Chain A
Amino acid sequence: MRVLSAALVLAALPTAFAVKAHDFKTCSQAGFCRRGRALSSRAKENPAWRSPYVIDASSVALSSDQAVFTAVVKSQLYPEVNFGLDVRIHDDGVVRVRMDEVGGLRQRYNEAASWALLEEPKVSNAIQWTVAKDSVRAKYGPKNDVEVVVAFEPLKVTLLQGGKEQVVLNGRGLLHMEHFRTKESVAKAREEVANPEEGLDTDDSQAVMEQTLPRTAWFEGETEDGWWEETFNSFTDNKPRGPESLSLDIDFPNHGHVYGIPQHATRLSLPTTTGEDAYYTEPYRLFNADVFEYLADSTMSLYGSIPFLQAHSAESTVGIFNAIGSEAWIDIGRPSPKSTTTHWLSETGILDVFILPGPTIADVFAQYARLTGTPALPAHWALGYHQCRWNYISSEDVRSVQKRFDEEDIPVDVFWLDIEYAEDHKYFMWDHKLFPDPVEMTKDVEAIERKMVVIVDPHLKRVDDYPVYKEATEIDVLVKLKDGQSNYEGWCWSGSSAWVDYFNPKSWDWWKGLFKVDSQGNSWHWVESTVNTYIWNDMNEPSIFNGPEISMPRENIHHGGWEHRDLHNINGMLFHNLTAQAVKERTDPPRRPFVLTRSFYAGSQRFGAMWTGDNLGTWEHMAVGVKMVLANNIGGFSFAGSDVGGFFGNPEPEMLVRWYAVGIFSPFLRAHAHIDTKRREPYLLDEPYKSIVRDILRLRYTMLPVWYTAFREASVTGLPVLRPHYVAFPHDEAGFAIDDQYFVGSSGLLVKPVTRKSATEETVYLPEDQVYYDYFSHHAYRGAAKGKNITVPAELHQIPLFIRGGSIVPTRERPRRSSPLMKQDPFTLRIALDQDGNARGELYLDDGETYSHEKGDFIWREYTATRPGKKSRSVRIHSRNLATQKPGEAVDGVALATYDSANDFARSIAGVRIEKIVILGMPAKPVTVTKVGGKTQMEWTFTPGVAASDKKEGTASVLVIKDPKLSVLMDWEVIVHA
């Protein structure tokens, strides 16, 4: 029985296998990355290195009314090739630098930005370029201290602020745009063997070069390395267009930290990949891929790519959005602790870089949001708890899971169905043997005001009895093979499959039509769904089991004749985008869609939520998930989360409990599990774990007003929902590398999720001289101006969660089965006084599912607590209408001129009141608590303790005002007289 025991050992091993690294390329296995790194090392070794790219000064042309200038760029290597440069400054100060080959053999891919950008940015008509002999420059900014300098020889773009270099393009001369060439012309040129032209390069190494080497060898290298064909594993990429990659160095001489370029399982402040003591050896890779059991600490590419990078210092923040649609690799170096270099290598496409000048972190977020859009304001219920598993196996299963949740009184908003609902994995087509009554099942879920999310993947099973495939074939919208004619066939869940080319506009209306819930016309519609059936888009990298790197062959042809390699990283976003539009347009008037995506690109935040893919049930993955979600928030895509419990494996109860605590502080909260795992719905836990998880989930529900308010802010300003320390305290250097604790929106809530086994306490960093209150025990901790670490209890039932002094947190404390059932429930205001006795908070509410908020149907309140006088011990609490004050800033994309306080939504919650006010850190016991204009005294209880203004630590004083009979949406003032 040796054989069987060997099989048993194998079965026990999967976590040890982890990622199949050999399925995915390293830099040295990707021709253009290899060439790019070689270029960089040649430059490093050659002290006389100088970029061969120069601006033809005579070609500089300025537009008369706008901040645009164009010029011809020449490469001294190839004088016959022309490049066109276009530099423009947007009205918010963002500088866009574009360069493309002009009059080449073909057009480089130039559509990446058009998919990412919200709209064509407005070019400033206030800024003027000045042309000098050797450069073009422009100065602007509120303080007129921002300067852009485009030097001619060699080409170099510098952004300065206050005379300090912020961003430098091609400062190290690594810019190289491989122009289109034919194999034959290269061979011919080789025969001609040119002597290097006089004056071009006087480097000694030139002389040593063999006579047979091309004269470009000092720059491009000696061989045609991977120019015409590449083989990886058993897959050969024929590269019919030859080499066309782009190399560009972007340096930040005065910024010691860089963040962003998700998605990587790594720290938030990106570790180095080049230079001495580089933390990683491989560059950060951006190539959307389905990486099985990915590593928890790696630069390997994952499911999504956002080529947006922030560089940060205590003085300023800048950003780079590099609109690359193809695979890309980014080397990061740190020549000194205060400066950072980056080197971007992309397989195809034009140079299209947006320099975001900041100078504050909020400016950078706003600038990036103006380019690619803010996160869409999600449906309110989508912030509740999502229960998923691969797979709930039948209608009966779904009903019984719902029943068990309700029996245990554990809140949940959404039940999910993974791929097994679909007959033979033909998405939309219910397996009626197991789901005989999908609509009735959904209605049973809807009866508790809950929703269903059902998976729709992009691979279409190639069988004629599948209407979706059949229609896609008929209207001819499938991705083509390299011949551009025949449909591509690959292997996925559904077996032999085809993929829709969402770059083809013909596919758009058709795809949207599929999701209609009632039949109309001759085409197929998903009548076996309801308007409360929302969608999960998985496998949209695309994941293809028998393709190179588990994805699509790069030579495949998309609409417009583009190769798949050109737009690979954008592909998943289009699928997500179209599905979100489809879900939105099912009803008239439209309702907010919810579509979860695994693959994403810059701009995906406009279409829904993402999750960090197939993580492992390990403590390492739990911890790195927090960082990945933070990085996604930096990348503009706030609505993010990791699978609670870990997709693979069977987490022990302790791990599961901790993971729920991590989950409730993620914008997107979903538990999910692999089909091979044991069931782990929270009601299956033993005590005390079950009750702890119930309390954790209920805590999330009490805080839904906080999350929703944070999402409103994100949707308008682009500020992330989760704010790591460098975002919240951009001048506090000690916090720049912290990525295991963070703030929720502007609420003042600071959380440090516990991601260590057997933890009983945690160290939490307080960045300022301010009081922070433990959310549960009301213990007042004191920070310090230089930052301070405190140790706090963190037993399994405890979450290190703090309210920053100076915050007012609105919550709804009544547990319900689902979030829509909380609509009429009263609020609690937690007022955490700061050292000066003040506090402030916001509350935003609307109907949570339609777009009526764009017409003014919402409430947006500001609550403040102030000390009436310097020596006073009293507190005045105000409720004010922010919507009336700033109607134009309330809703994303709509500039309301006025606000009607008696709008439909406000009237629908007219009876909703504040049931309780809790004030932490009162300096003294009150004498009276009264509403201004009110007749009666309010009822209250006071527990003495430490005051906010004290220097000492200890349990804070707590004043609880019982049922102050205040409306949540009216202006009022309460005086706590002490």
Chain B
Amino acid sequence: MLPWLLLLLPLHVLAGTEPLRGVSPDLISRYDPAQASSDVWECLDGSKTIDWSAVNDDFCDCVDGSDEPGTSACPNSRFYCVNEGHIGSYISSTRVGDGLCEPECCDGSDEAPGVCPNACKEIGQAYRERVRAEQKLRKTGSKIRSTYVAFAQKEKKRLEQELEQTEQEIAVREKEVARLKDLVERTESLSAAALEERKQSPLYQSLMTHVTALKSLQRQYQKHLEREQSLGDILDSLRTGYNPNYQDMAVLEAVRGWEQLAGLPHINDVGKDDENTEEEGSDEESSQEEEEEDDDGLWSELQVEHQVDELLRTDYDALLIEHDKHVGAPASPTSILYNLSAYLPDALVPQYESLRDQFVSWLESVGLVKANTDTSADASRLQKALSDAEHSLSLTRKEKDEKERDITRLFDPQWYGAEGEWKKLDRTCISKEVGDYIYEVCLFDEARQKPIKGGSTFSLGHFESWNNADVEQGSPEYYSRQRYTKGAKCWNGPQRSVTLHMSCGTENAVLSVAEAEKCEYEFKVTSPALCLPLSSTEEKSYTAGREEL
């Protein structure tokens, strides 16, 4: 009962005995009345002069609260706890004499005697152990991190080598394109007139009209597909995200209707049996539909999607020429030459062909054979070769750009860090199952929410940046957060987004996922990439700590 009895004593009685209560060692010199001429004392902000006896008398005299470092009289003062055996620290005056023992003031000096036991030994010990454990984690993690850094170095070399190769490749391809261009130009001037003539054919004209019609249809079809997709997305969002507080039967009906149409299970429903039958029912329906289409010999959805494109890519000029041949244009005198190979034994064919080419070109040169009988076909073939070559050139150039970009990003603090320590984790996917969902983030790419029980996967956002709060770029705080934004839109809410809260850990893992605000997710993530090696002083204390423990 002693502590209780002590509580009965007015606090100022206790406080009054200790004018230096709650004063930190740094400030103790300023709480010396001897410095002043007499028994007066000046508030630390110089705003007022008071009696020395008014310091720590449990009445707030100074605006800055400096006269009451040891009591709760001033709302804005700080109490210094010496915390011998641990680390000294300040607590707010709101904690002084409130009857609670807080770890920040483990010596209990802020409370009346007997209220709080001195817990600094245990708290200090626990603190040191925690620090040590953290340091140990960092040590282990930083080893892994150093492999990441090494990886980035290797990656740099690899990329640079590849870049060099790519550049060479570009040179080769550029030459090839130039050569083909030259050839095409020459061939085209020969064939253009003939081709134009043939294009007047009604069949060709009609074909062109068909092409236009098909293109228009395809465009409309794509529009409708997109529209359906958007509507489906909206309804999906409505279904999973609708706010039951809306208490709107119309919304509920819309959700039900969509579920039936899309063959989705009822969400939030109690009747599990219904769910199954519904699903089976809709499955059957859809498979039946597919069969029907097959029976008609019409294109399936898949064919429509992919083969129409192919069809439209047809080289109509080439087709026109093929067509001419097909309808039986008179065989040219050289045709026997070209077809002769068919009558030769296989072994002789190569020799024959080279011989024939030489022969034909010789015939050409002396004007015996008209080379331009098939110039249009040659031209289109050449054209194709040219466009193929140009295409590979642009691909290679793109490759080069990408490699250059990868090289610059490699050590860009806004991307993979000054040491490139994040490169190793580029596109690394880590995930966590929470409730009915798997939450996944592929670093520097995209975060997703995948339902376990079926339904569509939502994008939670694409990599946007590291910590966009007011922190120094490249600092550890900068890498403690990553933002993924512009994910799928929430019904009645914003586009989904994710903030990764990252800390040092020996594994790349998602520890927890929380949706603190609707559609704004917070992932707690650990990664060795955040484990900085111990500083030399830390290393020293770590080694010392081992002895101490």
Contacts and interface: CB of A to CB of B under 8 A. Distances in A.
Interface residues of B, number: 46
Contacts of A678: 517
Nearest to A820: B99
A493 B57 contact: no
Interface stretch (A221-229, A393-401, A567-575): A393-401
A880 interface: no
B8 A907 contact: yes
A209 interface: no
Interface stretch (A118-126, A437-445, A911-919): A911-919
B8 A821 contact: no
A464 to B, nearest CB: 11
A816 B435 CA distance: 38
Nearest to B234: A7
B517 A495 contact: no
A449 B95 CA distance: 13
A817 B12 contact: no
Contacts of A461: 270
A4 interface: yes
B268 interface: yes
Nearest to A912: B10
B46 interface: no
Given A433-B434, A815-B94, A817-B98, A963 B517 contact: no
Nearest to B74: A814
Contacts of A290: 247
A167 B518 CA distance: 54
Contacts of B56: none
Interface centre among B75, B95, B270, B491 (most CB of A within 10 A): B270
Contact of A433 (B98, B248, B435, B493): B435
Given A1-B230, A3-B227, A394 B72 contact: no
Given A11-B492, A821-B100, A550 B247 contact: yes
Nearest to A813: B75
Contact of A495 (B270, B512, B515): B270
B268 A495 contact: yes
B517 A915 contact: no
Interface stretch (B238-246, B307-315, B526-534): B238-246
B518 A495 contact: no
Contacts of A676: 243, 492-493, 518
A227 B414 CA distance: 75
Given A815-B75, A815-B94, A394 B514 contact: yes
A57 interface: no
B254 interface: no
B97 interface: yes
Contacts of A493: 244
A477 to B, nearest CB: 21
B194 interface: no
A915 B59 contact: yes
A409 interface: yes
A409 B100 contact: no
Interface string A785-815: 0000000000000000000000000000111
Contacts of B8: 907-908, 910-911
Contacts of A911: 7-11
B269 interface: yes
A101 to B, nearest CB: 38
Contacts of B95: 817
Interface string B469-483: 000000000000000
A821 B516 CA distance: 30
A825 interface: yes
Nearest to B98: A821
A104 interface: no
A949 to B, nearest CB: 30
A507 to B, nearest CB: 23
A87 to B, nearest CB: 44
Interface in A644-701: 674-679, 698
Contacts of B252: 545-546
A824 B10 CA distance: 9
Interface string A377-393: 00000000000000001
B230 A4 contact: yes
B516 A397 contact: yes
A44 interface: no
B441 interface: no
Contacts of A977: none
B238 to A, nearest CB: 9
B144 interface: no
A496 interface: yes
Interface in B205-246: 227, 230-231, 234, 243-246
B107 interface: no
Contacts of A409: 92, 94
A449 B100 contact: yes
B75 A3 contact: no
Contacts of A679: 516-517
Interface string A445-467: 00111000000000001110000
Nearest to B434: A433
A538 to B, nearest CB: 11
B327 interface: no
B94 A817 contact: yes
B73 interface: yes
A898 to B, nearest CB: 24
Given A14-B492, A409-B92, A824 B249 contact: no
Interface in A729-779: none
A814 B515 contact: no
Given A1-B230, A815-B75, A824-B97, A915 B58 contact: yes
B75 A814 contact: yes
Interface string B6-32: 011111100000000000000000000
A206 B118 CA distance: 96
Nearest to B12: A963
A823 interface: yes
A292 interface: yes
A397 B514 contact: yes
B98 A816 contact: yes
A951 interface: no
Interface string B357-396: 0000000000000000000000000000000000000000
B489 interface: yes
A826 B92 CA distance: 18
Interface string A535-565: 0000000010110001000000000000000
Given A11-B493, A463-B270, A292 B245 contact: yes
B94 A814 contact: yes
Nearest to B243: A676
Interface in B260-284: 268-270
A831 to B, nearest CB: 18
Nearest to B230: A3
Nearest to A491: B252
Contacts of A925: none
A815 to B, nearest CB: 5
A379 to B, nearest CB: 18
Nearest to A23: B247
Contacts of A913: 10, 12
Interface in A932-978: 962-963
Contacts of A550: 247
Contact of A448 (B58, B100, B489): B100
14 contacts: A1-B230, A7-B489, A8-B489, A11-B492, A433-B435, A434-B435, A461-B270, A675-B245, A675-B518, A679-B516, A816-B94, A825-B72, A908-B7, A910-B8
- Closest 8 pairs (CB-CB, A-B): A821-B98, A911-B10, A496-B270, A3-B230, A545-B247, A910-B8, A963-B59, A815-B94
Given A4-B230, A4-B489, A674-B245, 10 more contacts: A393-B515, A409-B92, A433-B435, A543-B247, A546-B249, A676-B243, A816-B94, A825-B72, A915-B73, A916-B59
Interface of B: 7-12, 57-59, 72-73, 75, 92, 94-95, 97-100, 227, 230-231, 234, 243-249, 252, 268-270, 434-435, 489, 491-493, 512, 514-518
